[in-house]
Structure 1
Amino acid sequence: MQTPFGQIPVIDAHAHFFSHRFFATLAKELPESPSESDVYPTLRKRLPWEFPQTDPVRLADRWVAEMDRHGISRIVLIASVPGDEDSVAAAARAYPERIIPYFMLNPTTDEAPARTKRAFAELGVKGACLFPAMHRFHLWEARLLPIYEIVAAHGGIVFVHCGHLKVGVRDKLGLPSRFDMRFANPVDLHGVAKAFPDLPFVIPHFGCGYFRELLLVADQCANIYADTSSSNDWVRLSPYPLDLSTLFAKALDILGPDRILFGTDSSFFPRGWRKDIFDAQITVLQALKIPSSQVAQILGGNLARLLKR
């Protein structure tokens, strides 16, 4: 992509693959609990979005066309409900040079280790997404150790949603929040990251309200990374002045340019890829006078390096 810093291969490290199965899973939680054939008619009453065909490759086509329109080289697409790893794996098989598949895992289930092994060994996923506040577990619990061991053995990445998080589509559908913030603190990663020093852990949204805690644990653990995704409007909750420029400046100070991953948190169509997020972050990097070599690391070089491990 041509940027103010020159031509840079941009890899978006955080976007969501809202497949047919994703929407069908959410629809089951609605009071009317529609049948499979009525999922989209029911959802259209509540969401003015495009809904994908049942074949996940068609959604992959949509994403790649969107990437081409914006000049994006590659993108991480996260299967955003547990059990949907086959959908995003099919998308990545169709576009192996463009789509980087991650999947959401609920590690509290008995089949979690087997599901993880299959995802990495058979489906070729590259990252496991954990959501402690949603599935109500601590990252340091012993039952997660087999998960970390499997991901590490396959050179994968652990993506951990921490902080004050919302799932916008659930809010729009009027579904109750499942989050319990007792499980949302990045500090929970400290012992785990120390025990698995070669396993990268990515915390999105600059910690999403736990920025201080992200900095503390990242300062202690060189395998903890931050992603920059979303509008980061959680800064309004900060008891002290905080904005996107401050987030970048302090993250660069503590983590350095080689542990920050650009992301947008793009998810649904027709909105598509969040160029507004990209533009806002580029503006901040320009204002901070970050060297183009470091910007190239943030915009894609760092994730490319992790994927080559």
Structure 2
Amino acid sequence: MFTKPIVFTDFHHGSLLLSLILFFEKRLGGTITTPIGVEWYTQGFWKIRDHPDVIREFLEPVGKGESLNDNLSIYMCRDRSGFTYKGVTLDGFYELPVDIVIASLPEHVEPFWRLCQTHPSKPKLVFQIGNDWQMQQWIAPNVMTSAVIKSIPKHIHSILYHQEFDLSVFHPDFSLPGNYIHSFVNCFIDEGGCAHDFQLFQTVEALMPNWTFKSYGVDCRNGNISGHQAIAEQMRKARFIWHTKYGGDGYGHIIYNSAAMARPLIVKAEYYNEKLGKELMVDGVTCLAIDGLSPQEIVNKILYYSEEHRYSVLCRNTYDNFKLKVDFDKEGEELNHFIRNLI
């Protein structure tokens, strides 16, 4: 149906947007655009959060370059991390021959449906699901899900897939890193849902004085890391990635990034029951599950699997299992078939 499709989507997660760029632009030769300009908010089509700072963060890029087309509707933009993407104004959206509109947040499904209804091209609406949002209504007739969602109605045209990322950045490294354990859970702090796990992280840290523990994220003690290259660099330095994220991820880029780099995770496997990321978690084979263990038992387990001969096997298993479960080329073909048959 679509040759080099022109796609409009929201931008709330850089790794998700990159995965869509890798598919629609790199694989299909199309164009991905995202909203820029506060008009998207004032006209009721952008609803991430009703806060001036958040509105500016998402709709007013720090870098807005020259227009990429004659009618001044698409601009090359850059966010605060240096990530580049194509932005389109609300007026420009209606001037483009848009083929597909993708909402990746439940709040955007209804306003994006209105965009499709009022656009001259009558683009197809797709709901991209990265977390189990517990939807009550299914407005979009097409669903791309990278989370295990059992409630999708049978009449919905849907596909389960892994969000693609750059394997030249997140590539395997089978060397023995230093005594570092890194976490990349945002808001891994002493408050909220992650508080108990963060306290456990700190307790284990105190019992391992010869190891360095770091926690990276928006509100975390070691600060945020911007850009995929920087995240990969810090992952590569760590012997283990501590990822006890309460509630789990629908997809979980950190989980899959780590596996692609042959870096074993320290996890609470129970958080991932019936979630997609569980496919990468085999205790003592591809990860260290610490469910129900005391801090000292966790220390003993980490030290046991840190021995070079055991650690090398753990890393090889982690990477081999990732390759077994994830094939971006094959899934790209399946996604192409899905896109060509949108309702």
- Tell me if TM exceeds 0.5: no
TM-score normalised by structure 2 residue count: 0.33
More helix by share: 1
Instruction: Identify the structure with bigger relative contact order (alpha carbons < 8 Å, sequence gap 6+).
Output: 1
Q: TM-score if structure 1 supplies the norm length?
A: 0.36
